[in-house]
Structure 1
Amino acid sequence: MDRALDPSRPPSRLLLALEVRGVWEFQAFLAAYPLLRRAPQGDGHPVLVLPGLAASDVSTRPLRTYLRAQGYAAHGWKQGSNHGPRPGVEAGIDLRLAELAQRYDRKVSLIGWSLGGVFAREAARRSPDRVRQVITLGSPFANEPKASNAWRLYEALSGRRVDDWPGREAMRLPPPVPSTAIYTRSDGIVAWQGCREQESATTENIEVEGSHSGLGYNPMALFAIADRLALPEGEWRPFDRSGLRSLLYSDPKRHQGDSDTALGADPIAEQFSRHSA
């Protein structure tokens, strides 16, 4: 199979180079901020945001600032840079989750960007009684270990092989709480196919346009996050794509029935191929 069409391989070099779009997405976030403030308001419940590989709470500050403005008690993970599942990291997440749940006497929503989303899902699996819902941003919880352009960095930072994570196969299963996976088909860091949830009554996938590095402040992603967090506890329902939203949010089910090759296709490469044909 062509490397660009193989979902078990990392995204193409073209998509990796286009990760520079994250800078433009941050500018779009600033420009769209007044419109984003019109998203559903929050009910004050706590939200714990986990950063991606090699990133810290600094990277999630724009998202947390926005969520606080929307009425949520948004918090960082307070563990410095994310260097993967090193000793004590998951225990630290569990302690942070327990602390917030006790402080607010409410369940906590978990948001994880990239590797942070993998941690968020597993934390929800360990403590479902403390978690309201999970939202992941480009998190490769169902990917092949090396279907990423960051696997070497992961090994260097974590000190372990990328395929050495106990219970990796079980990670593909949805957590026992409502879960939303936000992803982009033009992700230049991880293969997008492995960032999607299995379908169930309490899971969903939301596709946005953009880069992996910009998902934490992508206006479309942030609006979807605000919409999901605003759902009353115990009344989760899928994201509504009707009306004008259908122009911005593609139906992720439109790929069902496609061949494996089509599912793995590089969307940017496809455009170049059509123009050069």
Structure 2
Amino acid sequence: MDTAENRLNPPSQLLLALEVRGILELQAFFAAYPLLRYAPRGDGHPVLVLPGLGASDISTRPLRTYLKAQGYAAHGWKLGPNHGPRDGVEAGIDSRLADLAGRYGRKVSLIGWSLGGVFAREAARRAPELVRQVITLGSPFANEPKASNAWRLYEILSGRKVDDWPGREAMKLPPPVPSTAIYTRTDGIVAWQGCREQYSPTTQNIEVEGSHSGLGHNPAALYAIADRLALPEDDWSPFDRSGLRSMLYPDPLRSDTDSEAALRVSLAV
């Protein structure tokens, strides 16, 4: 039931201001790059990376560069800046997906950052026979329309009302392919609660520490992406966060504590 009491709010102004951490996460990416090369390597299959709202393929270049070095045929979407579900965008994604699947003769893994992840999940729903798996980065596919600090920007860029996306309830259901949702509880752009997949035998949620704007080059996120992509095509299994990994990947099943309060304490120390 959608009531005022259970409706999610956008992230606080503190978390929004702390999105500047994305710059530090990019620096951390370059510093951690030699270690990231020890992540599981790829089998050469194609990977299509979709950018977030207002962003273009330039924003996903570090991620794609890393994936190419790990042995994947990583590609951008080649549709310019992501201005939301404008006319022809979904058809363009479908065409790009079909082209890559045909060119390589293999299923394509889809990675989508923020709104790009929403598009990726829906593309997998339309053509599951072409998709190997979906990985989303801070994608609010299960959020209320205005549980975001970017909904006004969305309306300006897309020319649509934020709550005018057909099939919004169906979007919350997992796609018909293995799907991993990577998210952060200190996301300053979208409410993190709506960035998580419903649990099923082929879905998983992976939490990392960081910002929304840094998820595409967050070292912990990139290692998890490499781990997921390296899985055999027909033998998907959950991400193992036991041992030392538990220090980098918090338990997503822990109670929904006030992450912002913990962040305030850490900033005060």
Question: Fold conserved (TM > 0.5)?
Answer: yes
Task: Give the Å deviation of 1:118.
Answer: 0.0
Q: Deviations over 1:27-58 (max 9, x none)?
A: 00000000000000000000000000000000
The question of 1:238 aligning with 2:233 is answered no
2:239 aligned partner, one-letter code: F
The size of the alignment, in residue pairs, is 264
Change in Cα spacing, 1:254 to 1:105, as seen in structure 2 (3 Å) is: same
Change in Cα spacing, 1:7 to 1:40, as seen in structure 2 (3 Å) is: farther
Say whether the 8 Å CA contact 1:7–1:193 is kept in structure 2. Answer: no
DSSP 3-state at the match of 1:182:
strand
2:71 — aligned with what? 71
Pairwise mapping of residues 196-207 of structure 1 onto structure 2 (< 5 A)?
196-207=196-207
Task: Give the Å deviation of 1:117.
Answer: 0.0
CA distance in 2, matches of 1:137, 1:61: 15
TM-score using structure 1 length: 0.93
CA distance in 1, matches of 2:265, 2:10: 19
CA distance in 2, matches of 1:91, 1:241: 37
1:212 — aligned with what? 212
The question of 1:195 aligning with 2:195 is answered yes
Gaps of 5+ in 1: 256-262
Gaps of 5+ in 2: none
CA distance in 1, matches of 2:54, 2:227: 28
Say whether the 8 Å CA contact 1:186–1:209 is kept in structure 2. Answer: yes
Task: Give the Å deviation of 1:7.
Answer: 5.9
The question of 1:40 aligning with 2:32 is answered no
1:52 — aligned with what? 52
Q: Percent identity?
A: 80
CA distance in 2, matches of 1:76, 1:112: 10
Task: Give the Å deviation of 1:273.
Answer: 6.9
1:258 — aligned with what? none
Task: Give the Å deviation of 1:275.
Answer: 9.8
1:272 — aligned with what? 264
Task: Give the Å deviation of 1:14.
Answer: 0.1
CA distance in 1, matches of 2:78, 2:258: 36
Task: Give the Å deviation of 1:214.
Answer: 0.2
Task: Give the Å deviation of 1:272.
Answer: 3.4
Q: Deviations over 1:183-235 (max 9, x none)?
A: 00000000000000000000000000000000000000000000000001010
1:19 — aligned with what? 19
CA RMSD of aligned residues (A): 1.6
Say whether the 8 Å CA contact 1:42–1:70 is kept in structure 2. Answer: yes
Say whether the 8 Å CA contact 1:45–1:72 is kept in structure 2. Answer: yes
DSSP 3-state at the match of 2:58:
coil
Say whether the 8 Å CA contact 1:56–1:82 is kept in structure 2. Answer: yes
